[in-house]
Structure 1
Amino acid sequence: MHGPTSPGWLLVALCAATGAYCLLRMRSSVEEQRRAAGGEALMGFGMAAMAVPATAFTPPAWTWPLYAAVFGAAALRALWGARSSPHHLHHLVGTAAMVYMAVVMAASPGTHHHGGGAGVPLVTGVLLVYFTGYVLLSGARLVPTAVTAGTGAARWGDRPELARACRLSMGIGMVAMLLAL
């Protein structure tokens, strides 16, 4: 990212922490949660790597096609999973956005990190609208609701509100990265 490095490092920390928590969620006893957590961990760590400030590290040119390939494969997996769960549609949009950002960075002459190219303004705008709406909706879903009597305490890795908070964090990170594109 160009500009002050502090926001870039904060975004790296947010995405890496989210990715680490998602790795821990992969130990859940709930199969669907384990599957979703793997894709979310990949997104978190991928976003953290892409957000490293350019003043600290400029990745080699081969990095961007590698990102596009990894997230393209993740997009195909999300597309396959979308037939059974609508949540995979969000993963599909997220992985497609990562492929898009990697392609834009690869196509940016002389620049191999955030801020190098504008991409296609229409695609960037559509992704910004989607992720901004997702962030607002996810934030509203985090508003506490009444606890049903008799529900047992879930393990901290199985708590749905923490999973939603992670998804919210990654949505915020995606908005920040798209704005810097």
Structure 2
Amino acid sequence: MRTPARVALVAALLSLTACGGQAQVNSGAPAVGGSPAVQAASPVQQTVDFGAQYHFADGVTVLVSAPKSFRPSTSAYPRSARAVAFEIAIHNDGDQPYRLSALSVSATAAGTAAKQVVDSTQGYSGIVDAGKDVPPGRDVQVTLAFAVPEPPSAMRLSLRPNATSSVVAVYCGSA
């Protein structure tokens, strides 16, 4: 295995274990000389604490607040006894407009995928301006909510600015 591939593999494994996740490694076809080449099937994960910011190489900087617990209203979808909300600040440091619809956000709570909650009564409507561009030097705030179990548990919020990003910022903490 070549040294850069080993470094990427070790970084991915360390970032996964920092949040308590399990690493998955996909091996590709053998390289010249018969030794297996490891190819990254997914982007490198960079672990970040809630409340901190992460700067992606393409010029997008994100800052995710600590989770705020709330009880969804009866009109919320999907129904959940408890949810947490995150303020996500996105700043475009790049030289091109950033298309907000390219943002990918997913969450897990207690090791299980968490569903996004839409609760318009309480102001959690998802990304309402997804069709808009964020001009260079400007920023936008998005508030997203996710259904979580009653007792506080380990929470991971993964953000990727676009489908071609080689890095996923994984925010970790308790919610």
Q: Where on the TM-score scale, by shorter chain, does this alignment land: which range?
A: under 0.3
TM-score normalised by length of structure 1: 0.21
Higher RCO structure, 1 or 2 (CA under 8 Å, sep 6+):
1
Greater Cα radius of gyration, structure 1 or 2: 2
Greater per-residue strand proportion: 2
TM-score normalised by length of structure 2: 0.21
